[in-house]
Amino acid sequence: MLTRPIRLEEKELYNSAVHHPVQTWQWGEFRQQTEKKIERIGFFQDGKIQNALQVTFHPIPFLPQYTIGYCPRSFTPDEDQLAGLKELGKQHNAIFIKLEPNIAKPINNRDELKPLIEFLLNNGCEPGRPFFAENTFQLDLTPSENELFAKLKNKTRYNVKLAQRKGVKIVEDNSAKGLAIYLQILEETLKRQNFYLHTPAYFKTMWELLHDSDLMHIFHANYEGTTLASWIMFKWKDVLYYPYGASRNIHREVMASNLMMWEMITWGKRQGATLFDMWGSLGLNPNPKSHWYGFHRFKEGYGAELMQFVGTFDLVLQQPHYKIFRTSDSLRWKLLRLKTKISL
């Protein structure tokens, strides 16, 4: 197998080999605008590309001579591909490269992931702190719309019909104005839920680089001239994703978000998607006290299957430095959690 960097003129070739929005060429261009170093490598057999991946390298605060690599939602690499990643990490003086493969199984079939986990652990990886959610809901979009609607839980189905009767309308608006509406509602949501997300500048840069690529779509749920909910959706190849959502705390009785989710299901199906990844869940036996419990229950109502990803693994390149980093990082997270509790 030949491993080599992807050239600038090979955008379409590269995109043909990746299977998640955050591994696309466009996403890499976006992350480069946020001052991240991007590397793309391809794996070729008999002159044909078999796989490709994208890694961002991040300087460590106060230690800029070292970096951390991040390779989200790529494939699970084999030994040759891990060797390619190690070489790439050495070029950037990386302490480790964080891997979060886009490999998920039904949560009741978690044993199927054990061989992949054992392979990674036996080839220089250690379990790492996750950035992406460890679980998600995924909905098969190949059944008919009637069949999909029948899979909704009774309460969810009732709420969707209620929103339709009340006159809630779902519209797509990928314009700058559409983004501004999303950001305004997002600010209200974050204050109400008391959690943090990316800055407005992050979303504006994302929109500038992605909205013309047919990857990013903005939808609004409108009621009596007011936007009650605004979502950013991704669609890549035959998979639909729900990464970002925001809603207002008014007219909750019209169930705008319930209709929004149903409309996203039918829109994705019309666009040729065969799978809907809802971008996160709490997994089995969710804690009702979790900030994310409401989101989990909301998604659960649409008949999707609960899935577990293979996990997060750090491909360690400099063991002594890695141990020091993990110790200091754990302390930092403890302080952040303490600060959050005090602020509450």
Instruction: Quick: pLDDT tens for 289-317.
Output: 898 899 999 999 999 999 999 999 999 99
CB 74 within 8 Å of CB 53: yes
Convert 251-316 into a string of H (helix), E (strand) and C (coil).
CHHHCHHHHHHHHHHHHHHHCCCCEEECCCECCCCCCCCCCCHHHHHHHHCCCCEEEEECCCEEEE
**Cross-strand pairs, 275:** 140, 239
CB 217 within 8 Å of CB 174: yes
What pLDDT sits at residue 75? 93
The rounded mean pLDDT for the chain is 93
Q: Which residue from 243, 246, 250 is spatially nearest to 184, judged by alpha carbons?
A: 246
The confidence band for 12, taking pLDDT boundaries of 50, 70 and 90, is very high
What pLDDT sits at residue 339? 46
Question: What pLDDT digit, counting tens, does each position of 195-249 carry?
Answer: 667 889 999 999 999 988 889 999 999 999 999 999 999 999 999 999 999 999 9
Which of helix, strand or coil describes residue 227? strand
The answer on pLDDT for 193 being more than 80 is no
What pLDDT sits at residue 344? 33
The answer on pLDDT for 326 being more than 60 is yes
The answer on pLDDT for 133 being more than 80 is yes
Write out the H or E segment, with its range, that includes residue 190.
helix 176-193
Q: Please state the rounded mean pLDDT for residues 33-38.
A: 85
Pick the CATH number of 136-307 from 3.40.630.30, 1.10.4010.10, 3.30.1130.10, 3.40.50.300: 3.40.630.30
Domains 2-130+311-343 and 136-307 fall in the same CATH topology: yes
130: tokens are 């996750």
343: tokens are 């602020």
Architecture in CATH of 2-130+311-343: 3-Layer(aba) Sandwich (3.40)
Higher pLDDT, 213 or 101: 101
The answer on pLDDT for 107 being more than 80 is yes
Q: Please state the rounded mean pLDDT for residues 94-103.
A: 97
Q: Please state the rounded mean pLDDT for residues 167-185.
A: 97
What pLDDT sits at residue 59? 92
The answer on pLDDT for 63 being more than 90 is no
Domain ranges of the chain: 2-130+311-343, 136-307
The confidence band for 336, taking pLDDT boundaries of 50, 70 and 90, is low
